[in-house]
Structures are given as structure tokens and as C-alpha cells.
Structure 1
């Protein structure tokens, strides 16, 4: 029986698929840093020239966003 190993660190492409966003979003968000009216990038690590995302960081990043039942909530929450 073969056991699948779940990597702790994901590549940019794997991370994009994991969070349901595009690879270009991750790249652009990393370069932009924190800016007004922009979605911040999830935390990432650099290993040499490689960028990696930790699953736990991606889960925490996703959980940081407000969960809505309808779009009116976003307007009222401000």
C-alpha cells in the first residue's frame, strides 16, 4: 500500500489551485505588498529563488476574510 505525502510547502501553482486564485494574483500581490484597496498576499517564504506557501498560512489567510451571506453585508460592515 502506497501512502500519499502531503507537502507542507506548496509551489506558487499548487498554492493558487489550493486557494482558488490565479497564479498571477499571487505574483502581483507579492510584489504590491500592502496597499489600499488591494487584497493582501498570503504569507510566503523564499528558499533561494523559489517561492513557497505553507498550507497553514494559506488556511489562516483564507479564514481572515469576512464570510458573507449576501453582498449587502459587505457594504454594512464598513
Structure 2
């Protein structure tokens, strides 16, 4: 089930410049199919090269960065999967 924010972000992505569209951690996690706690661990450990923006205590992800992250991790078979990060 998509959140209203995620639905709005998806709709906005169709008309907005995706380099400036920012998503919350919850929306980014939902887009990636992971838990928000997993994103927090990735940020603190640097496990993956997934850029984020932090203003005060707020963390945001660019839609374009999430799309790039998923594109670079897409494989056609398991022999093709390599560790880039």
C-alpha cells in the first residue's frame, strides 16, 4: 500500500525535474522495498553509495538518486551481480 506522500511524489515525478524532487526516508524505503531502519543503517555505515540530504534532523533522498541506485543494481542473472559499493 502506497502512502499519500509516495503517491504524490510519483505523480510529481511525472511533471517535475527529478533531480530536485525530494522524498522522505519512509517514501525512499518503500520505493526500494526495504525498512526505514535499513536506510538508517546504510547512512550510518556507508554500506551503499546512496546519497542523501540532511537538513537539521530531516533526511531526504532525491528521486533521481534512488532511480540511479536501482538502475546500477539491476542484473539479468546472478552471475552478473557484482559488488560496486
TM-score by length of 1: 0.70
Are 1:29 and 2:42 an aligned pair?
Answer: yes
Residues 10-49 of structure 1 mapped to structure 2, 5 A cutoff: 10-34=23-47, 40-49=48-57
CA contact (8 A) 1:42 1:57 kept: yes
Match of 1:6 among 12, 16, 19: 12
Which of the two has greater helix per residue?
2
1:41 CA displacement: 4.7
**Partners of 1:14 and 1:50 in 2: how far apart?**
13
The count of residues paired between Structure 1 and Structure 2 equals 67
CA contact (8 A) 1:26 1:41 kept: no
- Secondary structure at 1:42's aligned position in 2? coil
Unaligned 5+ runs, structure 2: 1-7, 14-20
What stretches of structure 1 move > 3 A for 4+ residues in a row? none
Deviations 1:8-65 (A, max 9, x none): 111000000011121111000000014xxxxx15210011210000100000111111
